[in-house]
């Protein structure tokens, strides 16, 4: 499945409410909240890097599209967003989970935000807060495709 608009992407991300748990015991957060918290942590760590922030936000796309295919989730997520959000976001998603040796700083920052985003306890806002950032990244990806 290829996501063709920010609206389609946001609709998919909304389906993560109440899905799965990301954390331990009483501190568990659902996929939707985990995505928001990961993105918010990346916004704090790298305020100018919108593509990295969006990667944290959309990383559960593979789980939402293929809950029964853990091995194929990263590739499925990357394929789903490549046309909409561009090659860098897709490339980072393809390398999820960000465990093992971090081969670059982006992966190390993603890994830390992913781990820290599993704990409940802070208000990461709402998905609608990310619409403008998603639209900016999508517009930039579209411009880059037009140049190629």
Distance CA 125, CA 129 (A): 7
Distance CA 136, CA 131 (A): 9
Indicate the pLDDT class of residue 71, thresholds 50, 70 and 90.
confident
Three-state DSSP at 115 gives: helix
Q: What is the DSSP letter of 5?
A: S
Distance CA 77, CA 104 (A): 21
Q: 15-69 pLDDT, tens per residue?
A: 999 887 544 444 578 999 999 999 999 999 999 999 999 999 999 999 999 988 9
Three-state DSSP at 66 gives: coil
Three-state DSSP at 71 gives: helix
Count Cα neighbours of 127 within 13 Å in the Cβ-side half-sphere. Answer: 19
Indicate the pLDDT class of residue 147, thresholds 50, 70 and 90.
low
Q: What is the mean pLDDT of the chain?
A: 89
């Amino acid at each position: 499945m290829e996501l063709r608009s920010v609206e389609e992407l946001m609709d998919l991300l909304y389906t993560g409410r109440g899905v799965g748990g990301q954390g331990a015991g009483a501190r568990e957060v659902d996929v939707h909240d985990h995505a928001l918290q990961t993105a918010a942590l990346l916004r704090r760590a790298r305020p100018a890097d919108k593509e990295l922030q969006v990667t944290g936000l959309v990383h559960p796309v593979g789980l939402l599209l293929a809950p029964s295919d853990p091995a194929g989730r990263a590739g499925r997520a990357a394929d789903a967003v490549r046309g909409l959000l561009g090659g860098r976001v897709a490339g980072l998603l393809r390398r999820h989970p960000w465990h093992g040796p971090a081969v670059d700083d982006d992966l190390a920052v993603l890994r830390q935000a992913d781990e820290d985003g599993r704990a409940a306890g802070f208000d990461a806002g709402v998905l609608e807060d990310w619409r403008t950032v998603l639209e900016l990244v999508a517009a930039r990806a579209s411009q880059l495709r037009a140049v190629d």
